[in-house]
A = this chain, B = another copy of it.
Amino acid sequence: MALYVQKYGGTSVGSVERIEAVAEKVKGFRQQGHDVVVVVSAMSGETNRLIALASEIQERPDPREMDTLVSTGEQVTIALLCMALKARGVDARSYTGSQVRILTDQYHTKARIQDIETDRIRSDLDQGRVVVVAGFQGVDPEGNITTLGRGGSDTTGVALAAALKADECQIYTDVDGVYTTDPRVVEGARRLEKITFEEMLEMASLGSKVLQIRSVEFAGKYKVPLRVLSSFQDGPGTLITIEDDETVEKPVISGIAFNRDEAKLTVVGVPDIPGVASRILGPISRANIEVDMIVQNIGADQTTDFTFTVHRNDYDKAQQVLEQVVQELGARECVGDNKIAKVSIVGVGMRSHAGVASKMFDALAGENINIQMISTSEIKVSVVIAEKYLELAVRALHSAFDLDSSDTVRE
């Protein structure tokens, strides 16, 4: 007998039929004797429908009213799911964020959870009820409805699991787990049985969009075991957990993440004096452009080349900003490339294994792939390459780090 917090996203509750399928799944867990708290999103399409209504009325809709509006999406789902459970003889009770009381700060449309009252939920669980909670929403100290921002239902699930000290927080999605890399690129990509929070954070921020980063951070902070599973097929999914100190051999690399969302900009021939970085990135930041990788090469002639990447959508805007910067700094010129891709190898195992980076570079060199930028952290190495080599690079690395073979499944 365990206590599970299960989160079902918009696609999983996207129609009456799917809500009924979720009810069947939850009923199965109850029949096995488990306690279940369910967190649901709005039915897919509903949030966008509401946002479109708001946009028709006000160009930049009032944030407080926006939260009041979109929070109805999850409220509909909790009621329908409880009905579906009751129709199956499973006692259930729904709660909005306000009813639970999921207390947040006052930052409408991007509020953060501050506290969760668990008395009513515990009392319902004790009486054998399934508790169904609206994801993505809370209430501020003054009773205003708040939302946690898009994808916030994952965070609700993790926060509830932490508050209830649940045995596991299960995130049901349309994929059956976290993979070593994108199966559409590498045929031999495998589902991971386990991955650490840190690895998951690197994987997520680097492009594997299975879970919201904030919920993973939250789960790691409160040590909530997190499992990603499919709503539509049975299977164990992937468990995201703290690093165990078992002595079993771990693979060096857990997975390979990549994206082609970025563009690269280089300011060439920058005088090599203090304060240059901020004089380049300050105007970029003030233009609301986010920067990802940053590399500065030491120059031989008292000038340096300063390179960074931005989202591809911001490429043109960033170039315009830099034109001005080049003049002010007396730099030579600004060059850019938006046909790049970023590929990263991620794994806590690399901490204790030397030579991971060089093995990566070797594998790429073996395919004649030129590396344009390199950036490293304790558990990942990222490189920027020409976009046309992306698939080739991912497959070469997947193979080089033995991710294809089935005998390296981590348990």
Contacts and interface: CB of A to CB of B under 8 A. Distances in A.
Contacts of A83: 54, 57-58, 61-62, 65-66, 69
Contacts of A75: 68-69, 71-72, 75
A56 B16 contact: yes
Interface in A31-79: 50, 53-54, 56-59, 61-62, 64-66, 68-69, 71-72, 75-76, 78-79
Interface string A294-338: 000000000000000000000000000000000000000000000
A19 interface: yes
Contacts of A54: 79-80, 83
Q: How many copies does the complex hold?
A: 2
B76 A72 contact: yes
Q: Give the interface size bracket for A toward B.
A: 35 or more
A143 interface: yes
Given A86-B62, A98-B98, A99-B143, A68 B57 contact: no
Contacts of A94: 64-65, 68
A206 B19 CA distance: 43
A20 B145 CA distance: 23
A132 to B, nearest CB: 9
Nearest to A88: B58
Contacts of A84: 57-58
B50 A68 contact: no
A72 to B, nearest CB: 4
A82 interface: yes
B68 A96 contact: yes
Contacts of A66: 79, 83
Nearest to A66: B79
Contacts of A96: 68, 145
A185 interface: no
A87 interface: yes
A72 B98 CA distance: 14
Contacts of A144: 99
Contacts of A64: 93-94
Nearest to A69: B79
A80 B84 CA distance: 30
Given A65-B94, A94-B68, A96-B68, A76 B50 contact: yes
A80 B65 CA distance: 7
B99 A57 contact: no
Interface in A239-260: none
A240 to B, nearest CB: 32
Contacts of A20: 57
Nearest to A77: B69
A127 to B, nearest CB: 14
A79 B99 CA distance: 19
A173 to B, nearest CB: 23
Interface of A: 16, 19-20, 50, 53-54, 56-59, 61-62, 64-66, 68-69, 71-72, 75-76, 78-80, 82-84, 86-87, 93-94, 96, 98-99, 143-145
